[in-house]
Homo-oligomer: A and B are copies of this chain.
């Protein structure tokens, strides 16, 4: 049995390790065009920030560990073409610059995603970065330690994590966001609040330009970025630029082989992570996800999901049976003292999907007011007016926002109505929550809005 895995960050590495355990006799080859495998890409902002010294801390398993378990890891080997009829893959050795054909009984596509580069003049200057690979982290940290000012383009999760990293390193930061607020994946009101809260803690350490595009970068005589120009004509100096304007799935070579793509633009898979082609599985950031609440197809590339999908792919290709039902769209990000988190549908997304969403927002203490480390959080809870079903929640604040979002995910999974959720019995003690948790305040308020008489 020959197992070929393309890609080796989260999904690919997990699939390889799990398959190894399930099929001790199989020959497993993992090909990646990367220089590293099995690393925590989500940890790059924390390496850049200096939470740990050695970038190898990011590595979950080294190629040597894989080799010791009999998984052959081929770094700097790029998959060029899949030949589904003959069950072969054309692989290019990027170092030796020669191609070879490898055979598979089962193929796993786990080629991930790559950064979207917006149309900016001179975007290829030195010290203009994206954040995806271990090298990106090493290069960004190295440059940041010698810099005074950094520019971050985009204010999504990665942009916000980098903002924290640079501020902690003592750099001045300018963040440029096209939307009129930050973190536009949230509802507009929450995004606006995130923007306001960020500004309130900036303390001269960073500024955020909203409703702005970066149109051009300027260079010095060494071809290094030295300045930024925006759509409104603003110009400012900078020592480095990081582009955090999202990612797109690496699926072109799969499309060419006839692998079907879903409506989200990522590879279509069933619950077993099987593609439309025999013996070919896909998992991780290159694969489409199903939103559990609605069954809708979405593309939300996240490390935790990639891990689970890699596991499911491995179990099924090894002859076992495992379903991956999908995601709830849960996410969390920290930026300095602020936590932003969500699960399920935002109100705008719910409207797009045909629901009649009603929301309730509360701003409350996260603990009893007399505790020394009390902070506030704003919670927005959304339900469907017609059925009363909970659809999602968003939370932001210096307080313990993440805990409240995690307390809601099982309610979405269990398809609870707001009314059912108001009966929830959350833990209470003064260091952990007010007597009535903000989540229950929000649920009560939401219930009053959707109650029919």
- A residues apposed to B, CB below 8 Å: 10, 40, 42-43, 46-47, 51-52, 57-58, 157, 161, 292, 302-305, 307-308, 324-334, 339, 341, 343, 368-372, 400, 402-403, 405-411, 413-416, 420-421, 423-432, 435-437
* 7 A-B pairs whose Cβ atoms sit less than 8 Å apart in the complex: A334-B429, A402-B403, A407-B410, A409-B424, A410-B411, A413-B420, A414-B415
**Partner of A413 from B10, B343, B370, B416 at Cβ < 8 Å:** B416
Given contacts A327-B425, A406-B407, A436-B308, whether A51 and B370 have CB atoms under 8 Å apart is yes
* Cβ–Cβ < 8 Å partners of A420 in chain B: 413-414
Q: How many copies make up the complex?
A: 2
* Cβ–Cβ < 8 Å partners of A413 in chain B: 411, 414, 416, 420-421, 423-425
Separation of A415 and B413 alpha carbons in the complex (Å) = 11
Given contacts A40-B368, A421-B410, whether A341 and B308 have CB atoms under 8 Å apart is no
**Partner of A403 from B161, B370, B406 at Cβ < 8 Å:** B406
Question: Which residue of B is nearest A308, CB measured?
Answer: B436
Find out whether the CB atom of A426 lies under 8 angstroms from the CB atom of B409.
yes
Q: Nearest 6 pairs between A and B by C-beta?
A: A414-B414, A304-B428, A332-B427, A328-B425, A410-B411, A410-B410
Find out whether the CB atom of B343 lies under 8 angstroms from the CB atom of A425.
yes
* Cβ–Cβ < 8 Å partners of A407 in chain B: 406-407, 409-410
Given contacts A40-B435, A368-B43, A423-B413, whether A429 and B332 have CB atoms under 8 Å apart is yes
Find out whether the CB atom of A343 lies under 8 angstroms from the CB atom of B431.
no
**Partner of A330 from B161, B372, B409, B426 at Cβ < 8 Å:** B426
Separation of A161 and B289 alpha carbons in the complex (Å) = 45
Given contacts A423-B325, A425-B343, whether A370 and B430 have CB atoms under 8 Å apart is no
CB distance from A391 to the nearest CB of B (A): 14
* Cβ–Cβ < 8 Å partners of A334 in chain B: 429, 431-432
Given contacts A51-B372, A414-B416, whether A436 and B304 have CB atoms under 8 Å apart is yes
Given contacts A413-B420, A423-B325, whether A302 and B343 have CB atoms under 8 Å apart is no
Separation of A424 and B409 alpha carbons in the complex (Å) = 7
Separation of A128 and B366 alpha carbons in the complex (Å) = 34
**Partner of A428 from B303, B423, B425 at Cβ < 8 Å:** B303
CB distance from A436 to the nearest CB of B (A): 6
Find out whether the CB atom of A43 lies under 8 angstroms from the CB atom of B425.
no
Separation of A330 and B329 alpha carbons in the complex (Å) = 26
Separation of A407 and B43 alpha carbons in the complex (Å) = 24
Find out whether the CB atom of B406 lies under 8 angstroms from the CB atom of A427.
yes
Separation of A429 and B368 alpha carbons in the complex (Å) = 26
* Cβ–Cβ < 8 Å partners of A308 in chain B: 436
* Cβ–Cβ < 8 Å partners of A324 in chain B: 423
Separation of A144 and B429 alpha carbons in the complex (Å) = 22
**Partner of A416 from B327, B410, B437 at Cβ < 8 Å:** B410
Separation of A409 and B330 alpha carbons in the complex (Å) = 17
**Partner of A331 from B304, B427, B435 at Cβ < 8 Å:** B427
Find out whether the CB atom of A330 lies under 8 angstroms from the CB atom of B414.
no
Find out whether the CB atom of A425 lies under 8 angstroms from the CB atom of B292.
yes
* Cβ–Cβ < 8 Å partners of A431 in chain B: 46, 334
Find out whether the CB atom of A436 lies under 8 angstroms from the CB atom of B307.
yes
Find out whether the CB atom of B332 lies under 8 angstroms from the CB atom of A432.
yes
Find out whether the CB atom of A40 lies under 8 angstroms from the CB atom of B402.
no
Separation of A351 and B93 alpha carbons in the complex (Å) = 60
Find out whether the CB atom of B58 lies under 8 angstroms from the CB atom of A370.
yes
CB distance from A324 to the nearest CB of B (A): 8
